[in-house]
Amino acid sequence: MRPVRIGLLGCGVVGQGFVRLLAEERFRHVRIERVLVRDRAKTRPGVDPALLTTDAIEVIDDCDVVVELIGGIHSAGAYVRRALRSGHDVVTANKALLAGSGRELFALARDNGARIGFEASVCGGIPLIRAIERGLAGDSIESIIGIVNGTCNYILTRMEENGLDFASALRLAQQNGFAEADATLDVSGADALQKLQILAELSFGPTTHARIRVHGIDDVDREEIEQARSRRCVIRHVASARRLPGGVELRVERRELPESHPLAAVRDENNAVIIRGRAVGEMFFLGKGAGSLPTAAAVLSDVLEIAGQPKPVALHANLT
């Protein structure tokens, strides 16, 4: 059987992790055909330089599955749309693109007989999307609450345990690779909202008219942390979604949680989500929410599922 040809768009931290995992596990039925990069001269350990190109069209047209890891909305969106219109399956970790254009992209995929895998778009290596789409398909989800941004959680943990102020904790997160040089998207709460919108659409259906409240952690200070500790509580950045009469409420905000709360024990870059279903009650998911290999593992799981399924089977197609 001919190997499934992968066109990789982007070879940054997650992209290199994806290449590494694919090589280590030696999946013979999956092969990277071309890799889109900005600079072919840049050294990328473990990546064959002969695969590199700066021509996105070449990557998209000469493959079976497009793996989009460049991020952003405009270029990534154009590439994903071209791939879907050509009938190519797509795997992406791009939460911003899915939160803003998910319904359009899934409709485009459906119209052209393509599939979209997006397990890596929310909570890194935690198999949360599959749990909602498959494991809880027979239940009605009532609420979701969790820590879905590893950068914010790392900062709050370091402020709590090391006595750092916000600026120092942010610098430490950047030094350790848990925050971008410009961490605005994370610390403002925008990143968590994008992830929450994806989870809410999967769980509740369209959230066009949802009530939304977003508050970041960029104004947190030592006094707030210490006051919470004096009450045997901790500060966590919490995302929540719940059904309301006539709609859905989405909230991203700092909360003071008692030490006994399940989310209070979630430290550093870890993510955790509690899903409440009408039949199953509460289910708790915990794991690495950031980092090269956890996210790359989620990307690879989608690629392998697509590679092992005949075309008619839908994959991650409920975000419509």
Kindly list the catalytic residues. 195
Of residues 12, 13, 17, 73, the one with CA closest to residue 303: 17
Furthest-apart CA pair in the chain: how many Å?
64
Tokens for 99, please give them. Answer: 């939160």
| Residues 220/177, Cβ–Cβ less than 8 Å | no
| Residues 30/7, Cβ–Cβ less than 8 Å | no
How many residues does the structure list for the chain?
320
The DSSP symbol for 2 reads P
Bridge pairing between strands 30-36 and 141-147 = unpaired
Residue type present at position 152: C
Q: Detail the DSSP E strand segments found in the chain.
A: 4-9, 30-36, 52-53, 65-68, 89-92, 116-117, 141-147, 211-214, 233-244, 247-258, 270-277, 281-288
Residue type present at position 2: R
| Residues 126/285, Cβ–Cβ less than 8 Å | yes
Q: Residue with structure tokens 């909305």?
A: 73
**Residues whose CB is less than 8 angstroms from the CB of residue 85 and which lie 6 or more positions away in sequence, other chains included:** 108, 112
Question: What is the rounded distance in angstroms from the CA atom of residue 124 to the CA atom of residue 5?
Answer: 24
Question: What is the rounded distance in angstroms from the CA atom of residue 75 to the CA atom of residue 207?
Answer: 25
Distance, CA of 310 to chain centre: 26
| Residues 243/142, Cβ–Cβ less than 8 Å | yes
